[in-house]
């Protein structure tokens, strides 16, 4: 082994290996309309499923009458919980060990919950049928707010659970409480801020859907579905249905964005499969937009109170946080089992903090279940928001520049590997370098002067400068720490080199638009000296791909990327033995040259052979003591997670008359270790920053007191468009991960995680001279104007 690629050193050898901006292979089919999404799948005899949903948030079902629907020409079946009970399919496990009704049995617990399903010859008839299903409800009082739900007189939501006497789900804590309290008692300065991370929805372009096809001849269930984790879903499907796992095939074809929304299993998938099983015909279920927003996994919904204890010079000594987490009607958060609050314990961020303590209470409410990792590693977004906001609060309290206060507290670059106060092992980082680069790109000093000038001249538009120097944790995860439904979070790669020298790479992760078909081929190109065009990447079909845990939390590169590099190196080892045979040399004399991609005899550079020639040798002239063929598999369990980081600087103008916020400058410096494809990374950063802007400025799933979803469609749940997105100036530093085979860390979620606090810090910064310490997200003009008004700044 030659130690893997070094930072930026092996870039540009022209075969499309590490560091080259290879254009995305998948784009040809996407931009020519040849993508194949679940709704594109049509099977002979296929039926369509429409779900009847409850208009009430909390109600007991008295009666369901499907006779008027059944009377419609083309309606084949109306399914209720009773039908599913017959097949033991009435409930399904959530990702957090709770049990959720597939179709409501007895009591509705959130608005739009699945009550019945109509199966018909076409989608229109199914929809007409659904409108004709008559359901009698006994409406109950709902509770949608987590704090209200914990009150003694709150309606009990989960009365079907034995021993459940209130709406409390769990308490979790981390860190050393006593040591942290001591630090707070003795500190020169303490600051406290309460802040909400509002309920968001990942809102992928493609909603969820499935085509289930039970084959009674083969006793096999094939489900094409919008899945970010096809293998894990296969195991769960098998467990729920009792169909043996080798008789279940999950295919996740092209997926139009997931962002964590397509990790859980939803009732629609199970209903489609149950209907196909009962009716022995393929059944398609495709969600509408409002169904997607109102019922599938939401994200965030954390009410947090943060505290910092520091010296009068602004050196942070302790961090405390208390959280109330609204989990909805079922505990269906997407977290590794051992972490009920996900990776929230990374709330000390990029800072060298002696003592930290966090506590969290999870609560049931009459709202849709969720708590998915929306473009984030299990609650790291909430943690990063908390600490980056709190550092700004401390900076304002002490009147120290927010860049300077960060510098005083960063974990020094020579302190890695670093163990945080809450027990996390950071692999590598150089936070000051990234901040310095961002400050330079943003022309920080100039804007600080301009900000002061505007204050002094009583200008109509105030200037605000926000910083976020975040640390991420991605690559779940070591099997010892992370699992989904008991299955350890390793990942896999299988490389088969063909006799003509090209190869097929099969990976356990599934792309939803991140460009894996290109970037994973680049890893093989780098490690085997092949041309990237000669490598095809396959994923998403459980019948052919090796078992993997799925794509979320930027885990693809840290885990499956590592598996790919290790599998390629196994192929390379075998290739050496074939090269020795072909070149008539001893195997120990064969060297691999990363730059040329050739295998050579040591000391005789003219005696060399390419991987294409070796592939031919493996099938046509294999050495007697070797098996023919050239392939390898690797299942990779990472020793630790990787810790990408970055510094974002956002400069905004706040209009004192209207409360409108305009982006003046948006600088993002990221460090994801060694970079596979700079162009793909740039795209990931742009997309994630756009989502961060949506979070900070526009998006929120809201409910009224009756439990009606008031932010459940795109008229009310506002996504940013090109109009709201400024020009992003991106930069990077490279700090390789020491334990990853190619030194890479993940990158996809950094911008969504890192940007909201930078944006909020900027808006607060525009008003902090008048004593403003916080503005809640989304920072709509009316909310900003109210803050301006309260601070005496509005005109
Ligand atoms: O798990 P997911 O693919 O969403 O996240 P990721 O591992 O952060 O990767 C996102 C995309 O960026 C993939 O196409 C990666 O191969 C690419 N990437 C890269 O080119 N270099 C890195 N160091 C990290 C990711």
The arithmetic mean of pLDDT across residues 341-364, rounded, is 96
Q: Are residues 358 and 422 in contact, defined by beta-carbon separation less than 8 angstroms? A: yes
Q: Is the ipTM of this complex over 0.85?
A: yes
Hey, which bits of 365-419 come out as E strands?
418-419
Ligand 1 neighbour 673 (Cβ under 6 A): yes
Place of tokens 């950094």: 750
pLDDT tens sequence across 381-437: 999 999 999 999 999 999 999 999 999 999 999 999 999 999 999 999 999 999 999
Q: Are residues 158 and 381 in contact, defined by beta-carbon separation less than 8 angstroms? A: no
Domain 27-36+491-636 grouped into CATH 3.30.300.30: no
- Residue (of 394, 308, 324) closest to 365 by Cα position: 324
Helix 380-398 to helix 750-767 angle (10° resolution) is 30
pLDDT tens sequence across 490-545: 999 999 999 999 999 999 999 999 999 999 999 999 999 999 999 999 999 999 99
Q: Are residues 778 and 698 in contact, defined by beta-carbon separation less than 8 angstroms? A: yes
pLDDT tens sequence across 739-754: 999 999 999 999 999 9
Mean residue pLDDT of the chain comes to 95
pLDDT tens sequence across 88-141: 899 999 988 899 999 999 999 999 999 999 999 999 999 999 999 999 999 999
pLDDT at residue 6, as a whole number: 56
The arithmetic mean of pLDDT across residues 238-264, rounded, is 95
Percent of the chain's residues with pLDDT above 90: 93
pLDDT at residue 418, as a whole number: 97
- Residues with catalytic function: 228, 375-376, 749
Ligand 1 neighbour 516 (Cβ under 6 A): yes
pLDDT surpasses 90 at 605: no
pLDDT tens sequence across 172-195: 999 999 999 999 999 999 999 999
pLDDT at residue 400, as a whole number: 98
Confidence of residue 55 (pLDDT cuts 50, 70, 90): very high
Ligand 1 neighbour 515 (Cβ under 6 A): yes
Q: Are residues 515 and 24 in contact, defined by beta-carbon separation less than 8 angstroms? A: yes
Expressed in angstroms and rounded, the spacing between residue 665 Cα and the centre of ligand 1 is 26
Confidence of residue 203 (pLDDT cuts 50, 70, 90): very high
Ligand 1 neighbour 681 (Cβ under 6 A): yes
Confidence of residue 717 (pLDDT cuts 50, 70, 90): very high
- Residue (of 356, 274, 431) closest to 754 by Cα position: 431
Expressed in angstroms and rounded, the spacing between residue 537 Cα and the centre of ligand 1 is 15
Other CB atoms closer than 10 Å to residue 122's CB: what's the count? Answer: 12
Q: Which residue among 548, 555, 556, 675 has the greatest number of ligand 1 atoms within 8 angstroms of its CB, and so is best to mutate?
A: 556
Place of tokens 């409850």: 54
Q: Which residue among 427, 563, 641, 681 has the greatest number of ligand 1 atoms within 8 angstroms of its CB, and so is best to mutate?
A: 681
Pick the CATH number of 46-140+207-255+262-295 from 3.40.640.10, 3.90.1170.50, 3.90.320.10, 3.30.390.10: 3.90.1170.50
**Closest ligand 1 atom to Cα of 556:** 1
Confidence of residue 8 (pLDDT cuts 50, 70, 90): low
CATH code of domain 299-476+641-790: 3.30.365.10
Other CB atoms closer than 10 Å to residue 217's CB: what's the count? Answer: 6
Expressed in angstroms and rounded, the spacing between residue 676 Cα and the centre of ligand 1 is 8
pLDDT surpasses 50 at 10: no
Structure tokens at 471: 């640390």
- Residue (of 167, 171, 173) closest to 328 by Cα position: 167
Expressed in angstroms and rounded, the spacing between residue 558 Cα and the centre of ligand 1 is 8
3-class secondary structure, 470: strand
Beta strand pairing call for 425-426 and 461-471: unpaired
Residues shown for the chain: 795
Task: Look at ligand 1, atom 5, and give the residue with the nearest C-alpha.
Answer: 554
Ligand 1 neighbour 376 (Cβ under 6 A): no
Task: Look at ligand 1, atom 19, and give the residue with the nearest C-alpha.
Answer: 676
Output Rg (C-alpha) for the chain, integer angstroms: 28
3-class secondary structure, 483: strand
Expressed in angstroms and rounded, the spacing between residue 224 Cα and the centre of ligand 1 is 25
Other CB atoms closer than 10 Å to residue 708's CB: what's the count? Answer: 17
pLDDT surpasses 90 at 52: yes
Domains of the chain by residue range:
27-36+491-636, 46-140+207-255+262-295, 299-476+641-790
pLDDT surpasses 90 at 634: yes
Beta strand pairing call for 114-120 and 75-79: antiparallel
Contacts of 197 (CB under 8 A, 6+ apart): 300, 301, 302, 304, 381, 382, 385, 777
- 46-140+207-255+262-295 and 299-476+641-790, same CATH topology: no
**Closest ligand 1 atom to Cα of 748:** 8
Expressed in angstroms and rounded, the spacing between residue 645 Cα and the centre of ligand 1 is 14
């Amino acid at each position: 082994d030659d130690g893997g690629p070094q930072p930026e050193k092996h870039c540009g050898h022209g075969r499309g290996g590490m560091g080259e901006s290879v254009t995305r292979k998948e784009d040809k089919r996407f931009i020519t309309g040849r993508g194949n999404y679940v709704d594109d799948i049509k099977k002979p005899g296929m039926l369509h499923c429409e779900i009847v949903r409850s208009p009430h948030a909390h109600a007991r079902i008295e009666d369901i009458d499907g006779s008027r629907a059944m009377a419609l020409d083309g309606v084949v079946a109306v399914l209720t919980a009773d039908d599913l009970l017959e097949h033991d399919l009435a409930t399904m496990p959530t990702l957090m060990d709770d049990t959720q009704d597939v179709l409501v049995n007895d009591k509705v617990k959130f608005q739009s919950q699945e009550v019945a399903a109509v199966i018909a010859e076409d989608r229109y008839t199914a929809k007409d049928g659904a409108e004709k299903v008559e359901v009698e409800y006994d409406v109950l009082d709902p509770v949608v707010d987590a704090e209200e739900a914990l009150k003694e007189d709150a309606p009990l939501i989960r009365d079907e659970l034995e021993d459940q006497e209130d709406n409390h789900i769990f308490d979790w804590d981390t860190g050393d409480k006593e040591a942290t309290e001591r630090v707070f008692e003795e500190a020169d300065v303490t600051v406290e801020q309460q802040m909400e991370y509002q309920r968001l929805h990942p809102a992928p372009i493609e909603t969820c859907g499935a085509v289930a096809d039970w084959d009674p001849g083969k006793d096999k269930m094939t489900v094409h579905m919008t899945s970010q984790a096809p293998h894990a879903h296969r195991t769960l499907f098998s467990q729920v249905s009792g169909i043996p796992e080798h008789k279940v095939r999950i295919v996740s074809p092209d997926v139009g964005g997931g962002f964590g929304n397509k990790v859980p299993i939803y009732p629609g998938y199970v209903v489609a499969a149950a209907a196909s099983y009962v009716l022995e015909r393929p059944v398609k279920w495709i969600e509408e937009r409002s169904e997607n927003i109102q019922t599938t996994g939401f994200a965030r919904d954390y009410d947090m109170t943060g505290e910092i204890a520091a010296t009068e010079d602004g050196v942070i000594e302790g961090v405390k946080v208390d959280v109330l987490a609204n989990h909805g009607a079922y505990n269906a958060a997407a977290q590794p089992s051992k972490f009920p609050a996900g990776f929230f314990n990374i709330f000390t961020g990029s800072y060298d903090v002696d003592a930290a303590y966090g506590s969290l209470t999870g609560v049931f409410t009459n709202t849709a279940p969720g708590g998915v990792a929306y473009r984030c590693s299990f609650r790291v977004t909430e943690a990063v928001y908390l600490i980056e906001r709190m550092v700004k609060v401390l900076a304002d309290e002490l009147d120290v520049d927010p860049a300077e206060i960060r510098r005083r507290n960063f974990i020094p670059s020579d302190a890695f590997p670093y163990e945080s106060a809450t027990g996390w092992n950071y692999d590598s980082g150089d936070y000051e370098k990234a901040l310095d680069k961002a400050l330079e790109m943003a022309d920080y000093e100039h804007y600080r002067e301009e900000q002061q000038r505007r204050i002094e001249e009583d200008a109509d538009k105030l200037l605000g400068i926000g910083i976020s120097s975040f640390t991420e944790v991605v690559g779940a995860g070591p099997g010892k720490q992370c699992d989904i439904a008991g299955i350890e979070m390793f990942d896999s790669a299988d490389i088969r080199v063909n006799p003509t020298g090209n190869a097929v790479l099969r990976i356990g992760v599934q792309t939803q638009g991140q460009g894996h078909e290109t970037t994973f081929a680049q890893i093989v190109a780098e490690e085997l000296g092949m041309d990237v065009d000669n490598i095809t990447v396959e994923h998403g079909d459980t019948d052919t791909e090796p078992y993997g845990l799925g794509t979320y939390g930027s885990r693809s590169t840290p885990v499956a990327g590592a598996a790919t590099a290790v599998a390629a190196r196994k192929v390379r080892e075998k290739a050496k033995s074939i090269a020795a045979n072909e070149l008539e040399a001893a195997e120990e004399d064969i060297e691999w040259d990363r730059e040329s991609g050739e295998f050579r005899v040591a000391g005789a550079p003219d005696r060399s052979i390419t991987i294409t020639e070796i592939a031919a040798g493996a099938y046509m002239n294999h050495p007697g003591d070797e098996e023919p063929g050239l392939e390898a598999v690797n299942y990779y369990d990472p020793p630790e997670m990787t810790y990408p980081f970055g510094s974002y600087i956002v400069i905004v103008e706040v209009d004192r008359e209207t409360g409108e916020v305009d982006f003046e400058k948006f600088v993002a410096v990221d460090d994801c270790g060694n970079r596979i494809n700079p162009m793909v990374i740039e795209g990931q950063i742009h997309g994630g920053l756009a989502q961060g802007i949506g979070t900070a400025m526009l998006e929120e799933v809201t409910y009224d007191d009756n439990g009606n979803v008031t932010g459940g469609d795109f008229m009310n749940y506002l996504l940013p468009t090109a109009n709201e997105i400024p020009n992003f100036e991106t930069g990077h530093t490279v700090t390789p991960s020491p334990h990853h085979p190619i030194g890479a860390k993940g990158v996809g979620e950094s911008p969504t995680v890192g940007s909201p606090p930078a944006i909020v810090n900027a808006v607060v910064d525009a008003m902090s001279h008048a004593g403003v310490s916080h503005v809640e997200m989304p920072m709509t003009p009316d909310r900003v104007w109210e803050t301006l008004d309260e601070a005496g700044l509005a005109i």
